[in-house]
Amino acid sequence: MNFNDKNYKLSVQLDKIHLRNPTMLASGILGISQSIFERLYDENIGAVVTKSISVNPMKGYPNPTIIPLGGGSYLNAVGLSNPGVAAFSKELSENRNIPIMISLVGSSEKEFSKMVKVFDSLKIIGYEINLSCPHVSKMGMELGDDPEAVNKIVRAVRINTNKPISVKVGVGSIDVVELARVAIEAGANIITAINTLRAMSIDIETMMPVLSNLIGGLSGNAIKPIGIRCVYEISKKLQVPVIGCGGVSSWQDVIEYMIAGASAVQIGSILGSSGLKIFTHITKDLKKYVEKKGLRNISELIGIAHKYQ
Amino acid sequence: MRTNINKRRIVQIEETIAETPTVKTLVFKDSLSYSAKPGQFLMIWIPRIEEIPMSVMINSKEGYAAVTIRKFGFGSTALFERKKGDLIGLRGPYGKKFTIRKNCKKILIIGGGTGLVPLLRLVSYISKKKIKSTIVMGARTKEEVFFEKLTRKIIDETGSLLIVCTDDGSYGIKGSTVSVMSKLVRDDTFDCVYTCGPELMMKGVVELSNQNSLPVQASLERYMKCGIGICGSCCLDSSLVCQDGTVFNEKQLSTMLDFGISYRDKDGRKVNYA
């Protein structure tokens, strides 16, 4: 890589993955259509993460599943709706040049093994294991809060692939750094932090909870400082590549996450007000910042905050 | 300050109109819905039951709007069963509207069933603009014809024309909207075609428009969770129906390989239209 080439100002390395810029689509957003992935790539995105895929198709919860709360924050309990392994591997079979990371969700190591065996022949850059969805029982956070389950699942995926594995952690009942340590020791290469946080919203006119599932996950502006803290702690203590996620709505947020220690940054909820063009806008502005600060490459920002005591 | 369309408003149903045994209109007061553009939709919350996208129906009272539901699935049946005095939640209006080019003098409107809802908002809008329209209203049988009286009232003294057709010939002209349209475009000239209804009907309208080099706009429908471009449930090729639509023009429609072919189910799998 030639750092003097202006096209490489924004390129980053995530374990074995080379990205043209640090922006990624967060899992759960858009995420089911190859045509949409291609459109996002045309909008200069670095990579996409798919919706979390399970062995069998899941319809998810009835609506309301996504609530705009105002102030750039959102509450969702979609219930991991997804087309399942068979339909989704067909969806991605035509993929040639889009950097796609498949998000996996399941309730046992067997399910994860089964999925990786099917997906591993596709042209994808790696996997993100969702161990932090806060609103579906026997999946996501319920497993993420159990270090032994995390260990077993990550090992099951590791045995079946040589591709990079990221584990998506959230703020649950065990310390996020400990959870990340278990995942890395079991063979994960990257940590994605953080997922949404358990939250609720009640309508005072009808006096009823709004989400059909009652409880969901909070995303957007409200959770950004928590995401920054988690990325900072994980990257500082474990010295592993971290993908920052949570409340990123501008190029400034991407920079902040990178200074905290993120090698790449996922963007999601903001699409509800900005549309897909946000990736083009953000990458353009990131380049301006890198040039203004006289950096050879944006990676020079990663973890600058670690040096302060 | 700009009103936040995402903020949920709770409104009371002030009137219900039985259009047919399976189609009902619910009227409520809401200024954002009142000024919705033709083709835009609301996310309607039926508390503790569902939230569904519905095109915004017009109402004669200032500051009022409505939704017209066909009893079909779980959510639409629940909404259909709401009574006067019940509370529902609204967010929106969302989505792109039907557009009218400058110098447009005469348009052709083809609607089927509840697809007439956004088209009547369009008819009401153009009736103030001295644009003439020919409206083709299709239904399977006489019992399923609705909005006829209302449409006649809107186009009264505007020089516009309403043609009703039924598949079985029990009312109006016998035949489909597309067969009626093929005669109309042969005998008359139009500046643009606007359509909404069952997707296979719209596919026929779009193909016929293309064959006659007529610009065409169609308001499409897909399953939605968020209505604001986050969930991706409504994706149709590389478009999101909620944000890029619901209205698409002939150029956009020509790139959609799945238009009239398939839609995505709640789990995101593609299902072919029968």
Q: How far is CA B48 from CA A78, B45, B234, in A?
A: 15, 8, 23
Domain boundaries, chain A: 6-307
A87 contacts in B (CB within 8 Å)?
268-270
Q: Is the dihedral of CA A165, A169, A173, A177 positive or negative?
A: positive
Q: What CATH number should be reported for the domain whose range is A6-307?
A: 3.20.20.70
Contacts of residue A110, Cβ cutoff 8 Å, sequence gap at least 6: A156
Residues of chain B with CATH 3.40.50.80: 99-215
Whether residue B268 and residue A268 make contact (CB cut-off 8 A), yes or no, is no
Which candidate in B7, B41, B90, B225 is best for mutational testing of the A interface (most A CBs within 10 A)?
Answer: B225
Q: What CATH number should be reported for the domain whose range is B9-94?
A: 2.40.30.10
Task: Report the distance separating Cα A266 and Cα B104, nearest Å.
Answer: 46
- pLDDT reported for residue A1: 47
User: Given CB atoms, is A71 within the 8 Å cutoff of chain B?
Assistant: no
Of A82, A176, A88, the closest CA to residue A136 belongs to A82
Which candidate in B2, B226, B228, B270 is best for mutational testing of the A interface (most A CBs within 10 A)?
Answer: B226
Q: Are A26 and A262 in contact (CB under 8 A)?
A: no
> What pLDDT, in 10s, does the model give residues B148-201?
999 999 998 888 999 999 999 999 999 999 999 999 999 999 999 999 999 999
State the nearest Cα–Cα gap between A116 and chain B, in angstroms: 20
Using CB atoms within 10 A of its CB, is residue A40 exposed (0-12), middle (13-18) or buried (19+)?
buried
- pLDDT reported for residue A6: 59
Task: Report the distance separating Cα A81 and Cα B182, nearest Å.
Answer: 42
Whether residue A63 and residue B51 make contact (CB cut-off 8 A), yes or no, is yes
Structural tokens at position A129:
């294991």
Task: Report the distance separating Cα A66 and Cα A135, nearest Å.
Answer: 13
A74 contacts in B (CB within 8 Å)?
230
Whether residue B266 and residue A32 make contact (CB cut-off 8 A), yes or no, is no
Q: How far is CA B59 from CA B18, B30, B70, in A?
A: 14, 11, 18
Contacts of residue B75, Cβ cutoff 8 Å, sequence gap at least 6: A62, A63, B46, B49, B50, B51, B52
Q: How far is CA A151 from CA A145, A154, A167, A192, B131, in A?
A: 11, 5, 11, 16, 69
Q: Return the H-helix or E-strand segment holding A262.
A: strand A262-267
The one-letter amino acid code at A146 reads: D
User: Given CB atoms, is A58 within the 8 Å cutoff of chain B?
Assistant: yes
Of B265, B256, B87, B106, the closest CA to residue B185 belongs to B106
A65 contacts in B (CB within 8 Å)?
51, 225-226, 231
Q: Which residues of chain A from 240 to 299 reach within 8 Å of chain B, CB to CB? A: 268-269, 271-273, 275-276
Sheet holding B87-94, edge to edge: B9-12, B87-94, B41-46, B50-55
- pLDDT reported for residue A5: 56
A209 contacts in B (CB within 8 Å)?
48
Which of A84, A208, A273 is opposite residue B48, by nearest beta carbon? A208
- pLDDT reported for residue B273: 93
Whether residue B232 and residue A30 make contact (CB cut-off 8 A), yes or no, is yes
Of B11, B36, B44, the closest CA to residue B224 belongs to B44
Whether residue B6 and residue A203 make contact (CB cut-off 8 A), yes or no, is no
Task: Report the distance separating Cα A28 and Cα A53, nearest Å.
Answer: 10
Structural tokens at position A123:
């042209």
Rounded to a whole number of angstroms, the CA Rg of chain B reads 18
B231 contacts in A (CB within 8 Å)?
29-30, 65-66, 78
- pLDDT reported for residue B274: 79
DSSP label at residue B96: B
Sheet holding B64-70, edge to edge: B15-20, B23-29, B64-70
User: Given CB atoms, is A99 within the 8 Å cutoff of chain B?
Assistant: no
Whether residue B6 and residue A81 make contact (CB cut-off 8 A), yes or no, is no
Contacts of residue B145, Cβ cutoff 8 Å, sequence gap at least 6: B20, B137, B139, B164, B166, B171, B172
Structural tokens at position B61:
């009272």
Q: Are B257 and B269 in contact (CB under 8 A)?
A: no
* pLDDT less than 70: residues of chain B: 1-2
Task: Report the distance separating Cα B181 and Cα B201, nearest Å.
Answer: 11
- pLDDT reported for residue B1: 47
A67 contacts in B (CB within 8 Å)?
8
Using CB atoms within 10 A of its CB, is residue B105 exposed (0-12), middle (13-18) or buried (19+)?
exposed
User: Given CB atoms, is A175 within the 8 Å cutoff of chain B?
Assistant: no
Whether residue B7 and residue A70 make contact (CB cut-off 8 A), yes or no, is yes
> What SS3 class is residue A192?
strand
Helix runs in A221-307, H state only: 224-238, 251-260, 271-274, 278-292
State the nearest Cα–Cα gap between B74 and chain A, in angstroms: 10
Whether residue A59 and residue B226 make contact (CB cut-off 8 A), yes or no, is no
The one-letter amino acid code at B232 reads: G
pLDDT along chain A (309 residues), means of 10: 65 96 97 96 97 96 96 96 97 95 95 97 97 84 88 97 97 93 97 96 97 96 98 97 98 98 97 95 97 96 96
Q: Return the H-helix or E-strand segment holding B124.
A: helix B116-126
Active site residues of A: 133
Q: Are B228 and B6 in contact (CB under 8 A)?
A: yes
Task: Report the distance separating Cα A165 and Cα A157, nearest Å.
Answer: 8
Q: How far is CA B143 from CA A285, B20, B147, B229, B257, in A?
A: 59, 7, 12, 37, 35
Structural tokens at position B238:
């590389």
Please report where in the chains the tokens 């603009």 appear, as a residue: B129
- pLDDT reported for residue A309: 85
Chain Cα centroid distance, residue A300: 22
Of A54, A174, A45, the closest CA to residue A118 belongs to A54
Chain Cα centroid distance, residue B183: 23
Task: Report the distance separating Cα A177 and Cα A180, nearest Å.
Answer: 5
Q: What CATH number should be reported for the domain whose range is B99-215?
A: 3.40.50.80
Whether residue B47 and residue A208 make contact (CB cut-off 8 A), yes or no, is yes
